[in-house]
């Protein structure tokens, strides 16, 4: 899948998975931090995103701490998906 399309799809999935209210895909910048400032997600969200990566892309991240290195922003997530997806 082409990278821009992947990022667009990923943003929609993040919004749906985390039930982000009144947030549209175009509101999320590719380099906007997911945690802390930016989107302001927390530790439970990081676990939820790991599940998203597993269900949608067949990626298995066992340790949530490892996961946080991948879940920096949409760019890093897209990089990881492109490198590791099995679906």
Would you state the structure tokens that stand for residue 1, as one six-digit string? 């899948």
Which value, to the nearest 10 degrees, does the dihedral of the CA atoms of residues 5, 55, 51, 41 take?
30
Q: How far is the CB of 69 from other proteins (least distance, A)?
A: 15
Identity of the residue, 8 or 18, whose beta carbon is nearer to other proteins in the bound complex: 18
Lay out the site mask for other proteins across 20-49 (x = CB under 8 A, - = otherwise): xxx-----------------x-xxx--xx-
Question: Among residues 39 and 74, whose Cβ is nearest to other proteins?
Answer: 39
* Nearest CA-CA partner of 73 in 7, 9, 17: 7
């Amino acid at each position: 899948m082409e990278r821009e399309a992947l990022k667009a799809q990923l943003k929609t999935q993040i919004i749906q998975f985390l039930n982000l209210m009144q947030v549209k895909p175009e509101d999320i910048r590719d380099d906007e931090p997911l945690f802390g400032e930016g989107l302001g997600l927390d530790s439970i969200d990081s676990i939820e995103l790991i599940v998203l990566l597993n269900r949608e892309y067949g990626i298995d991240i066992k340790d949530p701490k490892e996961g946080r290195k991948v879940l920096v922003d949409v760019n890093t997530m897209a990089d990881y998906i492109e490198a590791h997806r099995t679906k």
